[in-house]
Structure 1
């Protein structure tokens, strides 16, 4: 990712403020975006990403679902399975998110991390159906961090999985949704034992 210049137009406090607004829209009870950022930071340090790349990844982690907030769809907060039309619409949010952070002044690196944070290792993700190493390492890290935090963070009307249950999903989805090396590292570092969003916030 170091081929991309990193524009950081906002101080950390402003990034956290925007992230909190996204969390509130998605009805997470605590600092969901911050938790993703902390998991991603631990993984990115372990794989040796540079400070430049880690800074891009932190910004993208905090703002990863800004596209959902911009789309402002009521079905996002509803406790039911999305219908086919809603699902297709929802899958636009990484592209909308890319456009939103472009408007905020972030450079190409953050834009693409947000665009590709739902790409799967096996090519079955979206929006561009990238696969394997064609997905930037930062986006592979963000996919796992986002999925794990989304499974274990509480939202009204939605079950939060236990860390152990979510860790089992990480094991089973290695080589499918996740880069197997990142899955192994997540488990080796025992990041499933990381603090909850409530503990992170406090």
Structure 2
């Protein structure tokens, strides 16, 4: 059982890691923290236990630590990936799982990092899980990560307008996203909060 001080230190460590990952990927806003916030709101709506939501938030902050560890220049280049590069990039959730273990995160968090690219229809990676084979928290992270990324401009990936992002999420319900979660993420109140947060949040200098 961690003390409050230990929990606070871990949270700050993960936020610091998240900021570094966001900078590596070319984000100008705290992407990992936005995912954690969206995911926690959805998890609360779905009645997830506080302990499970904490694991989910921790995984959100470091979900792409595998990409940062791989340190591939193509991630930040303004071009489409080659087939070999895409295959290489698909290793990052497994590498992320290993990195999450190295920094002492719980096994449940490690697995969420591993599975944050699994798709509802089985078309994701690395394990091609589908439907409810994918843990609820990983399904929430998939939708939260995608929606947050759509709103942010990165090298080779211009941002979408809020309406275009909503249509993208709705169109991929029951394909990439759990349809229940896709519906929740597009509720007006949550969407308004996401847009307000996104408009004001900045990575630290």
Q: State the TM-score, normalizing by the size of structure 1.
A: 0.92
Counterpart position of 1:3: none
Tell me the alpha carbon deviations over residues 111-153 of structure 1, each in whole angstroms, 9 at most, x when there is no partner: 0100000000000000000000000000000000000111111
Distance (whole Å) between structure 2 residues aligned to residue 13 and residue 201 of structure 1: 17
Distance (whole Å) between structure 2 residues aligned to residue 10 and residue 97 of structure 1: 21
Q: CA shift at 1:185, angstroms? A: 1.4
Q: CA shift at 1:8, angstroms? A: 6.0
Distance (whole Å) between structure 2 residues aligned to residue 8 and residue 83 of structure 1: 41
Counterpart position of 2:71: 72
Q: 1:134 to 1:54 in 2, by over 3 A?
A: same
Counterpart position of 1:168: 167
Tell me the alpha carbon deviations over residues 65-84 of structure 1, each in whole angstroms, 9 at most, x when there is no partner: 00000000000000111000
**Residue correspondence of structure 1 range 20-39 to structure 2 within 5 A:** 20-39=19-38
Counterpart position of 1:15: 14
**Residue correspondence of structure 1 range 110-129 to structure 2 within 5 A:** 110-129=109-128
Distance (whole Å) between structure 1 residues aligned to residue 97 and residue 9 of structure 2: 17
Q: CA shift at 1:156, angstroms? A: 4.2
User: Which structure 2 residue ranges, 5 or more long, are not aligned?
Assistant: 1-5
Q: How many residue pairs get matched?
A: 196
Q: 1:198 to 1:63 in 2, by over 3 A?
A: farther
Counterpart position of 1:61: 60
The root-mean-square deviation of aligned C-alpha atoms, in Å, is 1.8
8 Å Cα contact 1:9-1:106 kept in structure 2: no
8 Å Cα contact 2:28-2:202 kept in structure 1: no
Q: State the TM-score, normalizing by the size of structure 2.
A: 0.90
Greater displacement, 38-47 / 187-196: 187-196
Counterpart position of 1:186: 185
Tell me the alpha carbon deviations over residues 88-122 of structure 1, each in whole angstroms, 9 at most, x when there is no partner: 00000000000000000011110010000000000
8 Å Cα contact 2:80-2:156 kept in structure 1: no
User: Which structure 1 residue ranges, 5 or more long, are not aligned?
Assistant: 1-6
8 Å Cα contact 1:79-1:157 kept in structure 2: yes
8 Å Cα contact 2:185-2:191 kept in structure 1: yes
